[in-house]
Amino acid sequence: MTRTRLLAALVMAPIAIAAILLLPTPWMMAAAAVLFLAGLWEWFDLAEIEDTLSRTVLLAANLALMVAIVWASRSSTGYTYVLFQLASVIGVVWWLLALLWLQRYQFASNHESYARAFKLAAGALSVIPAWCALAWIHAAQPNGHRWLLTALAIVWAADSGAYFAGRKFGRLKLAPRVSPNKTVEGLAGGVLAGVAVGVSFAVFAGARPEQLWKVGLVALVAVLFSVVGDLFESLLKRHVGVKDSGNLIPGHGGILDRVDGVLAALPVFALGKAVLGF
């Protein structure tokens, strides 16, 4: 499994990096929308929406909201990113609320309509703010594309660091009811890897030496939020009794399995970057 996981990552990583660094922001937003909405389609499975027509309508509604945000952001001089910034703040607030949901494991765990409604709302609050944060980061000047790569590299490094540290040193369970394989040692390895990569990539993105501690702090918080995103998806999978959100990516599961941490980390990184000014 580890070999398959690495091979899949070696194929996906160059494509993702090329898109981030080479595509103009509108095209990057379009590519990210396709990826995130594909993850949302898998989310519908976890929310037990089985009817194809219902899923299609729900997906179209989320796409329409993305389009509406873009349309409403037009101005006489180009685009304003106020709505994208507001959505990012909403995303951070949502993931803080998700922590409360994680503490109440049984909440919305049944198969009633209200449980599906909560999970569908959670899907929209996860995907749309993350997409808005991605656009906000990528469009920022200077070097927005490099800062987006930095944000994503933090999550990728944290995920890999947690995986290997957990396999090597894992003893203390982090959240056994939600995700039995996650350990405190894995979390520590993920934090160290994410912060180290974040600071290193920040130099590439143009951060000044006196700003690196700020990047490290935001990277730390982003990693912790990425863990919340990962655990929340695990909670949804536990509720419906599945191991992966899909099987599209060899060794990695579905698309949502790859972007769950990203969904939570991007709004935090975007907001932290703006507040601390790097």
pLDDT digits (tens, 9 = 90+) for 231-268: 999 999 999 988 877 766 655 578 999 999 999 999 99
E strand or H helix at 86: helix 82-103
Can you give the pLDDT at residue 247? 65
Total domain count for the chain? 1
Torsion angle in degrees (nearest 10) through CA of 181, 40, 103, 184: 30
Is 181 strand, coil or helix?
A: strand
For 142-177, give one letter per residue: b (16+ CB within 10 A) or e.
eebbbbbbbbbbbbbbbbbbbbbbbeeebeeebbee
User: Which one, of 251, 259, 254, lies nearest residue 5 by Cα?
Assistant: 251
Select the more confidently predicted residue: 8 or 164: 164
Can you give the pLDDT at residue 144? 97
42 contacts 245 by C-beta, under 8 angstroms:
yes
pLDDT over 70 percentage in the chain = 95
Can you give the pLDDT at residue 243? 84
Position 2 confidence tier, pLDDT thresholds 50, 70, 90: low
Can you give the pLDDT at residue 3? 65
Can you give the pLDDT at residue 252? 57
Could you tell me the two tokens for 105?
Answer: 């494991």
Q: What is the pLDDT of residues 107-143, one digit of tens each?
A: 988 878 889 999 999 999 999 999 999 999 999 999 9
Phi, psi of 257 (to 5 degrees): -65, -25
**What is the extent of the structural domain holding 265?**
2-276
